[in-house]
Amino acid sequence: MAILPEPTEVATKDMEKDTPSGTQAIDENADPIAYSTFTQDQKRLITLLIGLAMLFSPLSANIYLPCLPALQLALHSTRQLINLTITSYIVLQGIAPAFFGDLADGIGRRPVYLVTFAIYVAASLGLALQNNYAALLTLRMLQSLGCSATVAIGYGVIADVVPPAQRGSMLGPAMVATNLGPSLGPLIGGLLTDRAGWRWVFWFLLVMGAAFLLALILFLPETSRKLVGNGSVEPTGWNRTLVSLFHSPRGRVTGRLPDKHFASRPTEKLTLPNPFHSLRLIFHKDTALVLSVSAIYYTVYYCVQASLPGIFVDVYGYNELQIGLCYLAMGIGVVMGGYANGKLLDKCYRATAKRNGLSIDSVRGDDMHHFPIEQARAMLAYPFMAICAITVIGYGWVLETRLNVSVPLILQWCIGFISTCLVQTFNTLLVDIHSANSSTAAASGNITRCALSAGGVAAMQPLLHILSRGWYFTLVGCLSAIGGAINVYMIKSWGQRWRRERERESTPES
Burial of 282 (0-12, 13-18, 19+ CB in 10 A): middle
Q: Which residue has the higher pLDDT, 205 or 233?
A: 205
* Residue 175, pLDDT score: 74
Exposed, middle or buried: residue 17 (CB in 10 Å: 0-12, 13-18, 19+)?
A: exposed
How far apart CA 275 and CA 273 sit, in angstroms, is: 6
CA separation, residue 468 to residues 160, 249, 454 (Å): 47, 65, 21
Instruction: Tell me what pLDDT residue 8 has.
Output: 37
d(CA 187, CA 83): 19
Class of domain 35-242 as given by CATH: mainly alpha
Question: For residue 231, what pLDDT is reported?
Answer: 85
The whole-number average pLDDT for the span 25-33 is 49
Which residues are registered as beta bridge partners of 102?
none
Q: What is the DSSP string of 179-218?
A: HHHHHHHHHHHHHHHHHT-THHHHHHHHHHHHHHHHHHHH
Instruction: Give the distance from CA 119 to its chain's centroid.
Output: 19
* 285-316 and 438-466 helices, crossing angle to 10°: 40
Q: Which CATH number fits domain 274-505: 3.40.50.1100, 1.20.1250.20, 2.102.10.10, 3.60.10.10?
A: 1.20.1250.20
Considering only residues 419 and 456, tell me which one the structure prediction assigns the higher pLDDT: 419
Same topology, domains 35-242 and 274-505? Answer is: yes
- Segment 375-388 shows an average pLDDT of 93
Domain range summary for the chain, segments of one domain joined by +: 35-242, 274-505
Helices then strands, counting H and E runs in the chain, come out as: 18, 0
User: How far is it, in rounded angstroms, from Cα 334 to Cα 325?
Assistant: 15
**Separation of alpha carbons 228 and 160, rounded Å:** 10
pLDDT > 70 fraction of the chain, expressed in percent and rounded: 85
pLDDT tens digits, residue range 386-438? 999 999 999 999 999 988 889 999 999 999 999 999 998 998 898 888 877 77
The closest alpha carbon to 50, from 162, 195, 171, 169, belongs to: 171
- More confident site: 180 or 211: 211
